[in-house]
Structure 1
Amino acid sequence: PRGLIGLLLAVILSAAMSSTASELNALASITALDLYKRNSKSEIGELKMVHITKWFTFGWGVLAIIIACVAYLADNLIQLVNIIGSIFYGNVLGIFLLAFFFKTVKGNAVFIAAIITQLIIFTLYGLNEYELINLPYLWLNFVGCIIVILLALGIQSTEGKKVQ
C-alpha cells in the first residue's frame, strides 16, 4: 500500500527523535542538578530550575549539532570515535588506577594531574596532526594513563612535604 512506506518512515524518524530527546533531556538534567544547582549560592525555585534546564537542553542540542557537523567532515566515523576516545580515555584510566592502587594520592593531586595531562595529550595530538611528531593516536591512551599517574604521584609527594 502507498501510505505504509510513509508510515514506516514516520515510525523510524519518531524513534530516532525520541532517543535524541531522551539523551538531551538526561544531559540537561544532570548539568542543571549536579553542576548548576549544587554550585549555586542561593536557593533556586522550581520554575527557575525548569527554565535553566531548558537552556541547558538547548546548549547540549547546539553542541550535538556542532559535533555532527564536524563528524561529517571525517573520512571514517569509526576512526573519529577512536581518536576522540584516545584523547580522553587514557586520562580516565589513569584516574581509576590511581583510585584503586594508590590510596595515598589525594583528590586534589589527581585533579591537577588530570588537567595537566589532558593539556599534554591535546598538545601531543596537535603535534602529531601537524606531523611534528610521529605518535599514533591509539598510543594516547597509554601515554595519558602513565602521565596522569606519574604527575599525581609527583604532585602528592610535593604537597605532602608542604604540609609537614
Structure 2
Amino acid sequence: MIVDIEPISLGISLAAILAFIAPIYISKKKQSNIQKAHQKKFTDEAEKYGLLLGTKDYWRGGYGIGIDYGKQKLFYMYPNAQIEFQLIPTDCISHIDLQKQSRSVGTGSKKVEVIDKLSLIISLSSVSGTKSFLCFFDGEKYSDLSGEWPLIQKWNSILLEEMAKKKVNK
C-alpha cells in the first residue's frame, strides 16, 4: 500500500520538526560554548602558575580541578565564588576530610537520602589552622547530583595517595 503525501503537508511537517528541534540545538550549542569557555579559563589560569596538570576534571560546566604531580600543586576552580581559584600545595597536606551533608526525606520504605553538599576539606601542615574547602556539589544551586559523588571519591583517593607518597619520601 502506497501512501501519497502532499507536498504542502510534507512542508508543514518539516517546518514543525525544525521548530521543535532548533531551540534544543541552539541551547545545547550555547551550553557547549559556555563549558568550553570555563575549561579554557581554567587551563589559562593554570598555565599562569606554570602548572602542567596531569589529571584534571570538569563538571557542571564551570567547576574544575587538576593536579600537577611534578610541582605538587592542586588547582581548583569554583565559578562565581569570592575566591574563584585555589592553589594548594599537596606536599603540605596534613589531613583530608570528605564531607557529605545529607538529610533523610520521607518515612518507612519511601525514605530517601537527599545530599545537600559534597566537599573536600583539606588541612595544611605548613600554616597552622589553614583549611581549604573544595565544593563539588551544592544543593542550594543544583537540584540533583550529576556524577559528583564518584568524582569527589576519585579526588579524595588521589590526594590520599599523594599524602602517602609524601610520608614514604620523608
* TM-score normalised by L of structure 1: 0.30
**More helix per residue: 1 or 2?**
1
Highest CA radius of gyration, 1 or 2?
2
* TM-score normalised by L of structure 2: 0.29
